[in-house]
Amino acid sequence: MSRIRTLSSVSALLGLTVLAATPALGATAAPKALANPAKTCAQLTSRFQKYLGEGMNAQLAQFVSPAFVIERNDGTIGSWPTYLNDHPIFTGWNIAVDFAQFSSPAITCVAMTSTTQLVDGISVVSVPTKNMSTYVWQRGAWRITSYGRFNALS
């Protein structure tokens, strides 16, 4: 009886795993190839920066994966729920993609970015900083999964 129960549990677990890996009903499958991965990286990173703007939390919440992790210039690490409640407000940005690596369903981007953000009501422009981000195709759309900003070594 125990062996039957174990096989039944394994079967149920495998069924749930397959179900979890299956795209949502009506969701489009991840792209198998990208014509220009660097352009896709620039578009996705620009979208992320845009959603960090004033009043864009609803769009940001849809774009950020529940697995999201960020490492900031100062070395602090944030996760999805805390970041959504305490993120910078961007008013402008520049992006230059250095490298893009695509393997469905994920794309990883390395770019040099500078941002304009509000700090205590004052507009501050950052120095250009290297960053790395990963986007994964989830529920029929790209979602940002990780983002790291790196200071230059001195």
Structural domains for the chain: 34-150 (3.10.450.50)
* DSSP secondary structure code for residue 94 in this structure: E
> What is this structure's pTM?
0.78
- Rounded mean pLDDT, 102-114: 95
pLDDT digits (tens, 9 = 90+) for 70-83: 988 778 898 988 88
Nearest 5°: the CA angle 119, 121, 125 is 45
* DSSP secondary structure string for all residues of 29-48: PPPS--S-HHHHHHHHHHHH
- Cα–Cα distance list, 153 to 16, 108, 109 (Å): 46, 22, 20
Cis peptide before 23 (omega within 30 of 0): no
Q: What is the mean pLDDT of residues 96-101?
A: 97
Stretch 58-74: mean pLDDT, rounded? 91
pLDDT band at 61 (very low <50, low <70, confident <90, very high): very high
